[in-house]
Amino acid sequence: MPDEPDHPSLPAMEIQESTDDAGGRASKIGGPLAAQLPEVGDDEKLTGVVKVTEPGYVPEGVARRAAISPTLFTADLSRRRLEALERDPRVVSVELSRRLGPTET
């Protein structure tokens, strides 16, 4: 009998693009922290998952942490960069997961 893995295979991670009520493209910025953005300072460090259209592309001002696929990676960024990412045509989405504490950088 072949060895069974300790953990079953996980399905591939996919970030869904959202649309607004009129069927147009909604904000590229989402995730658990997105609703708290008004409380986040411009230079505060955030972490999240960035999906881009071009394999290997990392937007300016974004520090890639780990690749998930050629077009999906975890990253550190500041709140100040979110506006530029929203306008960047090569960025599909940014899913913000949490604020980085002082010892996590």
pTM value > 0.75: no
Domain with 84 in it: 46-91
Domain membership flag for residue 63 = yes
Domain membership flag for residue 23 = no
Maximum CA extent, the chain:
56
CA atoms within 13 A on the CB side of 90: 9
pLDDT in the model for residue 40: 80
Domain membership flag for residue 17 = no
pLDDT in the model for residue 67: 96
Domain membership flag for residue 67 = yes
Going residue by residue through the chain, which has 105 residues, state the pLDDT in tens, using 9 for 90 and above: 455 545 444 344 343 444 444 444 468 988 877 777 778 888 888 889 999 999 999 999 999 999 999 999 999 998 889 989 999 999 999 999 765 555 444
Distance CA 34, CA 79 (A): 10
Domain membership flag for residue 100 = no
Domain membership flag for residue 59 = yes
Distance CA 68, CA 57 (A): 13
Domain membership flag for residue 29 = no
What's the total number of domains in the chain?
Answer: 1
Domain membership flag for residue 77 = yes
